[in-house]
A and B are shown apart, each in its own frame.
Chain A
Amino acid sequence: MSARADAPLVERIARAHADLRPRLRGGPAWQARRDAALSRLLQRGLPDRRDENWKYLDWPEVLAREFAPVTAATAEAPTPAGLELPGACRIVTVDGRYSPALSDRSLPAGVSVEELGAALDREPELAARLRVPGEDADDRFALLAEAFTDAGALVRIAANADVQAPIHLLHIATGAAASHARLVVEAGTNSRARILEQFLGGGDGALSNLAVEVTVGAGAQLVHMRLHEQPAGAAHVETLSVTQAADSRYRQQSFILGGRVLRSGLRLELAGRGAECEVEGLFMVEGIRQADIYTVIDHLAPHTRTVETFRGVASDRGRGSFNGRIVVHEGAVKADSQQSSRNLILTPLAEINARPQLEILTDDVKCSHGTTIGSLDPQQLFYLLSRGIDPAVARGLLTFAFCEDVVARIPWPEARRHVEELVVGRLPDRDIIREFV
């Protein structure tokens, strides 16, 4: 164990891959992609803390984890309950692998789900269509996922489908070893759907690595809520890639409320004219937990719009970072981009780093960004105290209210209440606050 942990990372990866290769499933198209990904990965290695976009990640904690993936034999699936959303269609993945047995049999009209490998075998053109992770460091974990996995889920929303039922993707990690997985979501032209991804499970030694690829077709509307509530020992790295066609609407809400180390990277391309996105998020880090949020939003076409809102709360020795870049490319005239990052540090040893970056490469755009890092507003605090409210309760209420800003916008009441519970559970005076909210 110790020998492996000390060996250079690429050697560990190469060795793990050699062990696994005979057991990896999938046809030649899938195999060819995996091999290509592995050789690029071995050439370039994973990023490290010298890389600007990875410098806040708790690398020792990540590198101490097992990189060799869970094999089918170890993937015994205990099934955590997950959120009960009325009328939802539930799709379960276990260590990244789509589990038809645990998933709902009947899907709403216009929705199809299948194992990514099976789809690739059947539709060779899908392999050509799927994104190939890029060369830069941002994409290196996506490359790792591509090299290692024959697991993944493909969710398709048919063109013009108006899916009312929430699509609940429950990702369950079984713990122990690593998992590398892919999720592909294709929202067809003029479709409408709402997806909730929920992450549960994952033990102290586990590393889950997920690459998510979302394409939002022309005129499509997709709501994508993501809820991380892994146990406090889990490590999770994810690379999201979202591409939006003309006049599409994409709203992402991510709640990063779990995991020992959680790295979430997003690259979103507003590729078609008139595409609009809202990216909202909340991270809370208490104890020794860490959250590392990195987002890049590219305005590539005229009349594109972004509203990005992130909130962060750190207490104890928790550490969080928000590194958000918005690039308005040449030709993206009349782009409208607003970014806000507000952060609360509740205790002296907690830490938050916020790095908003705005690059404007064209004229005639409207852009704004704002970042704050601070403690609770003393005026608000005094107002509550002057009404006889206990100081610990007042601080808790104000912190909760700070988070509510994002939480209140969750589209399903059951999910909202669930997240509120999680938020309260991460407040310093959680026991006192609980009766109040």
Chain B
Amino acid sequence: MPQKGELILDVRDLHAKVAGKQILNGLTLQVRAGEVHAIMGPNGSGKSTLAGVLAGRGEYEVVSGSVTYLGQDLLALPAEERARAGVFLAFQYPVEIPGVNNVYLLKAALNALRKHRGQPEVDAFEFLGLVREKMKLMQMDESFLNRGVNEGFSGGEKKRNEVLQMTVLEPVLALLDETDSGLDIDALKVVSTGVNSLRGEGRAIVMVTHYQRLLDYIVPDQVHVLAGGRILKSGGKDLALELERRGYDWVRQEAAAA
């Protein structure tokens, strides 16, 4: 586990394409252990692309730039190895996988992490205790345990399930891709409680979001404005409030003037 203040993620001048279209245009971002970062921006600014590139989604093509995760070249690792090294993506649209059991997947995922760290497989009894505890935190009914992955879940249930997985797997770097979208206020509070439970000295959280509302519950250390595939402005949590009030145009104008 990294020490507080240690550089976890170092993105430098990242350019990436999706289906031939350039989406990221020289993105630079540093995230240190213990920090929570919020990345905000208008639609199409590249927020989800950034999350996808970091998690290793196949359809993104990195054109240039580098991503270093705990001193290693993250882009050289396939998606499953990134996950085992402690990178976790909470999906914006978690896919349904009928026929693959939800709790089974969670156990297999935890064991993949443990194997990577040279630890023995988790004890079945201990595992169930851990999952039950986290489900309580996420206010999820135990019936979710035995369903297919996200099968028939509502939008809010899928998001809770993502954060449940996150709290069980305890990633070093948690990437949240619009985890707040489609949530009512009660669900937002529950999801935020789950995310906040992971805040700690040895971890970092990067949240991609449209709305300032999420940041009332998960208070970020840094806020970045992403537009046109680059970070135009960074600041503290007050920047989010200012964006809420004034929109994004002034940031663009400011950046153009500079």
- A→B interface (CB under 8 Å): 377-380, 382-391, 393-394, 397-398, 400-405, 408, 436
Contact = CB atoms under 8 A, between A and B. Distances in A.
Interface stretch (B92-100, B188-196, B227-235, B244-252): B92-100
Nearest to B109: A387
A391 to B, nearest CB: 6
B83 A390 contact: no
A202 to B, nearest CB: 31
A378 to B, nearest CB: 7
Contact of A388 (B95, B98, B109, B149): B109
Contact of A390 (B56, B105, B112): B112
Contacts of A389: 80, 105, 108-109, 112
Given A382-B57, A382-B79, A383-B91, A388 B116 contact: yes
Nearest to A390: B80
B215 to A, nearest CB: 25
Q: What 3 pairs across the A-B complex have the smallest Cβ distances? A: A401-B99, A388-B112, A388-B83
A388 B97 contact: no
B100 A391 contact: no
Nearest to B89: A386
B78 interface: yes
Contact of A385 (B79, B88, B100, B116): B79
A386 B79 contact: yes
30 contacts: A378-B58, A379-B95, A382-B57, A382-B58, A383-B91, A383-B94, A383-B149, A384-B105, A385-B56, A385-B79, A386-B56, A386-B80, A386-B89, A386-B91, A387-B83, A387-B108, A387-B109, A387-B112, A388-B83, A388-B84, A388-B108, A388-B113, A390-B80, A391-B78, A393-B108, A398-B97, A401-B97, A408-B99, A436-B104, A436-B108
A379 B98 CA distance: 13
B80 A388 contact: yes
A405 B100 CA distance: 11
A383 B113 contact: no
A2 to B, nearest CB: 48
Contact of A380 (B78, B97, B112, B113): B97
B167 interface: no
Output the residue of B91, B95, B100 with the most chain A CB within 10 A.
B100
A405 B96 CA distance: 14
Contacts of A436: 104, 108
A379 B55 CA distance: 13
Given A383-B94, A390-B80, 4 more contacts: A379-B95, A387-B169, A403-B99, A404-B99
Nearest to A405: B99
B179 interface: no
A401 B57 contact: no
Given A379-B95, A383-B91, A388-B113, A397 B100 contact: yes
Contacts of A397: 100
B99 A385 contact: no
A395 to B, nearest CB: 12
B42 interface: no
Contacts of B113: 388
B100 to A, nearest CB: 5
B148 interface: yes
Interface in B68-94: 78-80, 82-84, 88-89, 91, 94
B209 interface: no
B165 interface: yes
Nearest to A381: B58
B148 A401 contact: yes
Contacts of B165: 387
Interface in B155-178: 165, 169
B56 A384 contact: no
Nearest to B99: A401
B79 A398 contact: no
A321 B83 CA distance: 39
B116 A383 contact: no
A378 B95 CA distance: 10
A386 B113 CA distance: 12
A386 B99 contact: no
Contacts of A386: 55-56, 79-80, 82-83, 88-89, 91
B142 to A, nearest CB: 20
A380 B57 CA distance: 12
B83 A398 contact: no
Contacts of A408: 99
A51 B1 CA distance: 68
A377 B149 CA distance: 14
Which one of A397, A400, A404, A408 has the highest number of Cβ atoms from chain B below 10 Å of its Cβ? A397
B80 A383 contact: no
B100 A398 contact: yes
Contacts of A398: 97, 100
A436 B89 CA distance: 23
Contact of B98 (A382, A391, A394, A401): A401
Nearest to B104: A436
A408 B151 CA distance: 15
